Structure 1
Amino acid sequence: MYSQQQRQRWMSVLASSPAAELLDGWRALDLKVPFAVIRAPETGLTQLIGRMGATGRRFVLGDMTVTRAVVRLDSGPYGYSYVAGRDKAHAELCALADAVLQRAEHHERLHRQLIEPLSARLREQHQSRAREIAASRVDFFTLVRGDN
């Protein structure tokens, strides 16, 4: 069995990855796993809650569109997914990948050939964005004159 943190990590990578890249990676695996759709992908809203400084009072930041799906492999495990936006195919593929990643016979291959490359791509995008932001950073300072 896989720890909750391991599963959260791979689900984060799957849900954060662009749907086209995830689909390309899945097709390259050429896995034919029989599954049943338990909860067809459906789109809804979730409420975003924020806190000022992470410690202040809660406030409603707004709503966000999410799509969720649940599948079950014929061999037993259930796969769940929640993805931002309205892409139903992305949600279903994330749920299928979640279920397959729970199977020991496929886990190592999927992790090596799907999760790690997608994670590296996301990390590279994040670092690129951080460099872009750092390049435009402006430091403000105040000059104090005398004692008065």
Structure 2
Amino acid sequence: MTTVLAPMSGSAVGLAAVPDPVFSQAMVGPGTAIDPERAPGQAVAPITGTIVKLHPHAYVVVGADGRGVLVHLGIDTVQLKGAGFHLLAAEGDHVEAGQPVVSWDPAVVEAGGRSPVCPVVALDAAAESITDVASGRVDAGDELFTWS
């Protein structure tokens, strides 16, 4: 069983609230989404593992059990080409759950006309394997969902 932690503080709103069908229809995988606080902050590793993909706007951490968790910082943020994001880790790094990976400002993303909502997805997981999904207020490092 894998406990996935909230990568940032905000409100857990569910994938259906993500304004992108790839995430809202769980095409990438099941999980949830966080509507982040509108303040500069850090996105942290949702699980302990290795960063296998790292872009300024998104990252994937794979645990020792081979399970990967995607954190996507806002929607359509790839168009920003890294502006407003600062990498705090590198691809290939081992990270502990809760360790900062990227610093960013959701308010700047929103001011640019993009949604700052952050999908947190269990890659290649069956929908029924995701339980104990948080709703409402979460702080970075709180339990977000369980992957069994």
* TM-score, with structure 1 as normaliser: 0.31
> Per chain length, whose mean CA-contact separation is higher, i.e. which structure has more relative contact order (CA < 8 Å, sep 6+)?
2
User: Greater Rg, structure 1 or structure 2?
Assistant: 1
More helix by proportion, 1 or 2? Answer: 1
Q: Which has the higher strand share?
A: 2
